[in-house]
């Protein structure tokens, strides 16, 4: 669940990037920031540490991103740091991406399968989803062996579950509800 803070700040960042015609650049740079934060969770804690002065925390951001980052995005990160909202950056990026996708006619789809899909299967599924939606589909694939077989698709806030696990769970439910 996204917080109101993430919606507000992520939306404001998208609005600014849109006004400056920098939405693609910011989307790319936000991805880089999120990757670095995921790889280095201690860095986020450091940027949120109240015992370190705000000026020193801001300096850390300048040193890490200053030369290569769009200045408004760097200022956004500094603002989040100053307000103690570094933990909200991921949610802000999610809201930014949602607005970006909406503006560019892109639908996000998450496909989870019991075994890795081949490139041919991924391409066929991707093409089918794009034809179905009439939009560009940004598809991410995951593997979860617990699904036993089949695939699960999450798209447009809906889940389409064609996994063996789902079928087994449904059968178990029917059996439990059957009086013998």
10-20 confidence digits (pLDDT tens): 999 999 999 99
Looking at residue 177, its pLDDT comes to 85
Q: How far apart are CA 27 and CA 32, in angstroms?
A: 9
- Give the CATH fold of the 4-101 domain: Peroxidase; domain 1 (1.10.520)
Residues whose CB falls within 8 Å of the CB of residue 48, separated by 6 or more in sequence, listed in order: 81, 84, 86, 87
Give the residue carrying structure tokens 């040193």. Answer: 63
Residues 60, 46 contacting (CB under 8 angstroms): yes
Where along the chain do the CATH 1.10.520.20 domains lie? Answer: 4-101
Residue 88, burial from CB neighbour count under 10 angstroms (0-12, 13-18, 19+) = buried
* Long-range pairs for 154-158: beta carbons < 8 A, 24 or more residues apart: 154/109, 154/110, 154/112, 155/107, 155/108, 155/109, 155/110, 155/129, 156/107
pLDDT category at 162 given cuts 50, 70, 90 is confident
Task: Report pTM.
Answer: 0.80
């Amino acid at each position: 669940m996204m917080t109101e803070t993430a919606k507000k700040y992520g939306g404001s960042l998208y609005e600014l990037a849109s006004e400056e015609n920098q939405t693609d650049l910011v989307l790319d740079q936000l991805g880089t920031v999120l990757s670095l934060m995921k790889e280095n969770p201690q860095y986020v804690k450091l940027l949120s540490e109240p015992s370190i002065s705000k000026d020193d925390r801001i300096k850390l951001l300048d040193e890490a991103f200053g030369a290569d980052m769009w200045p408004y995005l760097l200022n956004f990160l500094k603002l989040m740091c100053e307000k103690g909202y570094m933990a909200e950056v991921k949610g802000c990026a999610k809201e930014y991406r949602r607005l970006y996708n909406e503006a560019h006619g892109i639908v996000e789809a998450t496909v989870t399968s019991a075994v890795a899909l081949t490139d041919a299967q991924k391409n066929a599924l991707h093409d089918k989803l794009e034809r179905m939606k009439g939009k560009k589909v940004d598809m991410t694939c995951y593997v979860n062996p617990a699904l036993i077989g089949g695939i699960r698709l999450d798209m447009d806030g809906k889940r389409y579950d064609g996994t063996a696990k789902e079928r087994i769970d449904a059968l178990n439910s029917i059996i439990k509800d059957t009086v013998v």
